[in-house]
Amino acid sequence: DWNMPDYISEAVEKIRAQVGSDEVILGLSGGVDSSVAAALIHRAIGDQLTCVFVDHGLLRKDEGKMVMDMFSKNLGVKVLRIDASDQFMGHLAGVNDPEQKRKIIGREFVEVFQEQAKQLTAARWLAQGTIYPDVIESAGKGKKGQTIKSHHNVGGLPETLNLKLLEPLRELFKDEVRKLGVALGLPHDMVYRHPFPGPGLGVRILGEVKREFADLLREADAIFIEELRKTPFEVPHVPGIDAGKAPTNWYEATSQAFAVFLPVKSVGVMGDGRTYEYVVALRAVQTLDFMTAQWAHLPHELLGKVSNRIINEVRGINRVVYDISGKPPATIEWE
Shortest gap between Cβ of 143 and ligand XMP (angstroms)? Answer: 15
Identify the helix (H) or strand (E) that includes residue 293. Answer: none
By CB under 6 A, residue 30 contacts ligand XMP: no
Q: Which residue number, 134 or 277, has a Cβ lying nearer to ligand XMP?
A: 134
Of 205, 259, 211, nearest to 83 (Cα)?
A: 211
- Main-chain dihedrals φ then ψ at residue 180, nearest 5 degrees: -60, -45
By CB under 6 A, residue 153 contacts ligand XMP: yes
Of residues 198, 227, 257, 320, which one binds ligand XMP by CB under 6 A?
Answer: 198
CA distance 56 to 196: 14
Please report, as a single letter, which amino acid is at residue 300: H
By CB under 6 A, residue 331 contacts ligand XMP: yes
By CB under 6 A, residue 178 contacts ligand XMP: no
Shortest gap between Cβ of 304 and ligand XMP (angstroms)? Answer: 26
CA distance 165 to 127: 6
CA distance 315 to 106: 31
CA distance 30 to 196: 8
Q: Which residue number, 48 or 153, has a Cβ lying nearer to ligand XMP?
A: 153
Sign of the torsion formed by the C-alpha atoms of 94, 99, 102 and 108: negative
By CB under 6 A, residue 152 contacts ligand XMP: yes
Binding window for ligand XMP (CB under 6 A); candidates: 175-183, 197-205, 218-226, 235-243:
197-205
Residues in 285-304 at the binding interface with ligand XMP, rule: CB under 6 A: 290
By CB under 6 A, residue 256 contacts ligand XMP: yes
**CB-neighbour burial class of residue 244 (10 A; exposed 0-12, middle 13-18, buried 19+):** exposed
CA distance 263 to 213: 8
Of residues 61, 91, 103, 149, which one binds ligand XMP by CB under 6 A?
Answer: 149
Q: Which residue number, 50 or 256, has a Cβ lying nearer to ligand XMP?
A: 256
Count of chain residues binding ligand XMP (CB under 6 A): 16
Q: Which residue number, 19 or 190, has a Cβ lying nearer to ligand XMP?
A: 190
CA distance 125 to 164: 5
Which residues lie near ligand XMP (CB under 6 A)? 102, 149, 151-153, 195, 197-199, 203, 256, 290, 327, 331-333
